[in-house]
Amino acid sequence: MVAARDHADHNRNFLFHRTRDNCQILTQEDPYLLLTGPSRAIVIVNPITLEVQLKVKSKTEPEKDEPLAFDISNHHQTYFMEKVIYGPSFCRRCNIEFAYASLVPSVEATISTIQVVDGTWPDCFRGRVAAHITSIKEGTVLLLDSRDGAMPISCSTGAIELSRRVVSVNLKGGEVVISVVASRIGGEDAGVVAAQGEVAFRPKRAGTSHGTCELGFCRINVTVAWSLLSTLRDMRLAAEKRVTKK
């Protein structure tokens, strides 16, 4: 697991959380963890704490699993920069690099539903869903990558089960672009893009936004829910109220 703690509630906010029976294979060619979070936006009004606990799965018994990375580190960035920030963490058996961006002011965007309508997703296509934050260079967040497997789509509703749903969007001048890419599985055309579509959303302080992207063989409906984030001023006012009550 990889988790973040901020001053909004100090609880673990899981960025990556997999059980032993649902592990991820890492290679030198593909060393990136497929993140499963966060479950809410991370607030960086004070330094955030990143906690890492990763193990190498034994081929035999759980007792023989070996530690890969155990680390706790603090990261802070309280001003807006139009680029991704890279924070290295050095462990005994590997090095880990975190990439994040600070958006001021920002709102939380939750991709609440992404649904296949007016058609079906072919079994011979893998899928990739990503969110691009236009105000940040390299600001692409991977929401789902089925890799060499079929897309996780509900047979009854057509809903796509994303690996993660929450991103932050700059409230002034930014947009979030949701893209869906279908590519072929196996054969000589493996990895060749067969269709792709995208839909852009302007941020709101509250409420929902709806959009559609066309892939040819189907249409994808996307719903984004918006919510405000706690600010340093909000936390100070809350602290003053607690002091007044005492």
Query: Which carries the bigger pLDDT value, residue 245 or residue 212?
Result: 212
Residue 38, in any domain of the structure: yes
What is the reported pLDDT for 228? 87
Residue 235, in any domain of the structure: no
Residue 82, in any domain of the structure: yes
Shared domain for 168 and 182, answered yes or no, is: yes
Q: What is the DSSP secondary structure assignment for residue 153, as one 8-state letter? A: B
Peptide bond into 38 cis (omega under 30): yes
Shared domain for 113 and 219, answered yes or no, is: yes
CA atoms within 13 A on the CB side of 115: 14
Q: How many domains does the structure of the chain reveal?
A: 2
Shared domain for 123 and 221, answered yes or no, is: yes
Peptide bond into 62 cis (omega under 30): no
What is the reported pLDDT for 81? 63
- What is the end-to-end Cα distance of the chain in Å, rounded? 39
What is the reported pLDDT for 135? 87
Shared domain for 96 and 151, answered yes or no, is: no
Domain of residue 41: give its range. 2-100
Gap between the Cα atoms of 176 and 157, Å rounded: 25
Residue 242, in any domain of the structure: no
Shared domain for 113 and 163, answered yes or no, is: yes
Phi first, then psi, for residue 136 (nearest 5°) are -120, 130
Q: What is the CATH number of the domain that holds 113?
A: 2.60.40.150
CA dihedral over 5, 6, 8, 9, signed as positive or negative? positive
Shared domain for 120 and 161, answered yes or no, is: yes
pLDDT tens per residue, range 76-86: 765 556 678 88
What is the reported pLDDT for 82? 65
Query: Which carries the bigger pLDDT value, residue 96 or residue 208?
Result: 208
Shared domain for 84 and 182, answered yes or no, is: no
The band of 210, judged by pLDDT with boundaries at 50, 70 and 90, is: very high
Query: Which carries the bigger pLDDT value, residue 128 or residue 186?
Result: 128
Q: Span 180-186, mean pLDDT?
A: 91
Token pair 């509250």 is found at 206
> pTM, whole model, 2 decimals?
0.86
Shared domain for 25 and 93, answered yes or no, is: yes
Q: Per the structure block, which two tokens stand in for 47?
A: 């330094």
Shared domain for 145 and 208, answered yes or no, is: yes
